[in-house]
Amino acid sequence: MIEWLAIAYWVALFVFTAASLVLAALSWMTRSLWLIAAAAAALTVGLIVAALPGPGSVPILAVLISVLGVGLGVVGGAPAATATLRLATQNSVPNGVHGGILIESERREVLRGGLTIGLLERLAIVTTIIAGMPAALAVIVAVKGVGRFSELEAPEARERFIIGTFASLIWAGACGALVVLALN
């Protein structure tokens, strides 16, 4: 009986984590709010499963869940941040040619390169959580803030930066927590 519970635990964890990753990737391609909401729901269920008393770590399954969790943290954060920004700003801030936002009063584009920075930020967040070094999160956030400081004088840029950063941090943190919970 115990073996079946262990198998059910790992299968459920794999299914919900993989489903969240697939839904997040599809959301990235389609920009669908419904798909990222479904990905977030699958991630939430995966977190609940991971928080249950587990049967112990099996090396190959631990590696698989770790890879899925890191992938989900990196990939899923982009559509999660984008969806959060869309909902928060109701698309009131126009996007620039290079992926930044346009500051109408100054006729310039700021916060360019956000996608690349976000991918690297989420990779750093998930891996530091998995490695058990949560203090490094402060360094990651500080580096991002210092790097963007000169672009944050306009209120719309500050608002978008804060919302996007928090959405990205929360998503990546949840994915890192899923892996840590599953492996303990």
Residue 1 has a pLDDT of: 47
Q: Could you give the number of structural domains in the chain? A: 1
Closest C-alpha among 142, 175, 179 to residue 75: 175
Q: Which residue has the tokens 């999160």?
A: 137
Residue 56 has a pLDDT of: 75
Rounded to 10°, the helix 155-183/114-130 angle is 30
Closest C-alpha among 139, 141, 130 to residue 184: 130
Residue 87 has a pLDDT of: 82
Domain of 56, in residue numbers: 2-183
Find the DSSP H helices in the chain.
Answer: 2-30, 33-51, 59-89, 114-130, 136-148, 155-183
Q: What angle do CA 123, 127, 129 make, to 5 degrees?
A: 125
Q: Which residues are CB-contacts of 141 (< 8 A; sequence separation ≥ 6)? A: 165, 169
Residue 127 has a pLDDT of: 95
**Residue ranges of the chain with per-residue pLDDT less than 50:** 1
* DSSP SS3 for 101: strand
Determine contact, residues 32/83, Cβ cutoff 8 Å.
no
Q: Which residues are CB-contacts of 158 (< 8 A; sequence separation ≥ 6)? A: 152
